[in-house]
Structure 1
């Protein structure tokens, strides 16, 4: 089959090329799924960029065309249409809010053999007025028009479907996020050197300061932060966080790291802590569970899987967060049990096979074929997981 992914900016192409240090979850998921489909024998294209330049290259088997549209460059709109026409996709796939979803929908409706699927990347994207935090009067109506032009809206969990407008809910379908590889056994509790780890792009909505509060309140535990600052955050906020980090002797700041090093650090941790106000289905949670690390989340529980599956805790208050982290870190039997359940969960629900089956249900008539062995097809995780297994 022919697939066309649309991802504004350059981050998805960087992930395809192996540089995962600055990627957000949505851009990474696009790249991972695109590469996986190539591995299954499909023809895959990716339209990216900022509307300024046009070029064509091939990265990891994906035909990458710099032709994403931008209002500042009117010529980029017909160039975007030509790029889609060149790729002749049977499935057109977008994942991030953009003013040009309606143009993708128009293209799909003008082609009898093209279907347009838009995948939600955050709970905030379920409604147009929460998808943007600037110039809502302009962006929200365009986003709403784009959502209505889709054939399928892919949701990450059932709560997103329930939040959608009833007219959009009728075309929603559950398509889980992809975890590319799962370790055979949970990482060994007794070999861990980090008690609690925080991973993510540092921006206000992620509330890193609450994790720093946690480290300050629990001086006997070892904490770690992995991630870089979002360039849109104010320099004042960045400097305030940096100063706090430097004062915490029980916390190590690693900065942005590629996926293989993130997995290595996770395999040394007893728990992943999430302090975000809002998410979709965090990749960091999937990565933690893929090596058997439980998650303690302040408020985010995508589809209520953490509590229903018994793979961590949802604290809901900062006071309870301290208690839950202390319990999951210090209680070996509880930690190991949650880790085993986590591995079982991601293997069942977030493997490439599970994602392909969900896409086939969402797009009747689409046949994706059999997913190849995960370790063999994944150059980033495969060797790392083998190394972790040898240590157990």
Structure 2
């Protein structure tokens, strides 16, 4: 399959060559109609909080959708039915509902209401291009819809797991069959890293293109964050934090509107009472994240403080064991789940972001940290960028992580240098505006990723 195998053979009518406006974005001569499919994406786009888990795939989809809508495109999103009105508009995006999560009879619900509900929602969206992210059976259904109705289909990977031919996260044979069907019929396959591109080529015989993940610039005090479109304007502390390192954050005006949401962190995350370097870990309590490593590392680094953000998606013995173990570590604090509009404040109070994962894609947490100049110590280095661009330190085992953290703690000059590198790399590669410039060209058929 060609990576640019569009059915039209070129740009769709109305999407002509464009020139940049004063903001650096290409003006749209005729808006593109694009539908994003993210069944768990209702809370991420700004719908009712708590209706669904907001993971990296959902957050990436919401960022792209909101920015394209802001640029004047006709953007829609297909999500699960949480009792919301069908076709409601949220931040310029029309949201259509497919089916309720638990509706239908076991054994039959795949056909009705899931297949029929999703198909109907795709039809109501009436888009020219459909985009779906993450390996699942939905990939095949969306591809079949596009094939039937002559629409273009873009698939995007959400992690390395989507690129493994054994598909370890798809437990039912039907899910794997439908994913493979959709992957091979996508007009364009987008991946997060060059490594994933090679995995797609060798594992599935599919040619993919690299499109960097996007992230909100948390150094911008006027950033809009989901859920609810709250404005996170608490970057004042961070503006001064990197001033000494020569980083230009481009501080936003301090005007405050009626929807301003000031993060109020619990007393558990008060600045005082901590030891040495402050280390932040963010993620789900799942085996591949290897949170248990943190407790072993913390035991050997009594001069450091470790703050853990996240929880298990559902109850599990593994998660309960981790929580019990954390209580025995004096320098480890479990903060639980934190609303996304508070994330910036967490990064600003931290010196290092720690990642202990066995495998990832390109973590959103890395991008958020780098937007504020916070380096990482990580066991996973996507495409080697952490080592290549001086964005932190890389280790592959517990002793290696301990050494990396202690070296970072002792090297204040090195930390400041890494902070400058992090901010520069984020500005160059991952700002929402830059990523959507590239994505917009792909949608128009006038450009390529990497």
- TM bracket, shorter-chain basis: 0.7 to 0.9
| TM, length-normalised to structure 2 | 0.74
Deviation at 1:22, TM superposition (A): 4.3
Equivalent of residue 45 in structure 2, options 7, 12, 16: 16
Equivalent of residue 116 in structure 2, options 63, 73, 78: 78
Deviation at 1:51, TM superposition (A): 10
In structure 2, the CA distance between the partners of 1:186 and 1:275, relative to structure 1 (3 Å rule), is: farther
Q: Distance in 2 between matches of 1:58 and 1:244?
A: 45
User: Do residues 87 (structure 1) and 170 (structure 2) align?
Assistant: no
Q: Is the 8 A contact 2:141 2:178 kept in 1?
A: no
| TM, length-normalised to structure 1 | 0.84
1:132 corresponding residue in structure 2: 169
Deviation at 1:111, TM superposition (A): 3.5
1:285 corresponding residue in structure 2: 366
2:201 corresponding residue in structure 1: 165
Q: Distance in 1 between matches of 2:283 and 2:338?
A: 10
Q: How many positions carry a matched residue from both structures?
A: 360
Long gaps (5+) in structure 2: 1-31, 102-107, 221-237, 245-270
User: Do residues 337 (structure 1) and 390 (structure 2) align?
Assistant: no
Over the aligned positions, Cα root-mean-square deviation in angstroms equals: 2.7
Q: Is the 8 A contact 1:186 1:293 kept in 2?
A: no
Larger Rg: 2
Deviations, residues 267-322 of structure 1 (Å, cap 9, x unaligned): 11110000011111100011110100000002x11111111111111101211100
Deviations, residues 52-77 of structure 1 (Å, cap 9, x unaligned): 99944332222111205986252332
Alignment of 1:1-392 (within 5 A): 1-9=32-40, 12-17=41-46, 19=49, 22-49=53-80, 55-67=86-98, 72-76=109-113, 77-112=115-150, 114-132=151-169, 134-135=171-172, 137-166=173-202, 171-181=207-217, 183=219, 188=241, 195-231=278-314, 234=316, 236-298=317-379, 300-365=380-445
The secondary structure found in structure 2 opposite 1:41 is coil
Deviation at 1:165, TM superposition (A): 3.2
Q: Which moved more, 1:167-176 or 1:222-231?
A: 167-176
* Between structures 1 and 2, the one with greater helix share: 1
The secondary structure found in structure 1 opposite 2:351 is strand
Q: Distance in 1 between matches of 2:350 and 2:419?
A: 11
Long gaps (5+) in structure 1: 368-392
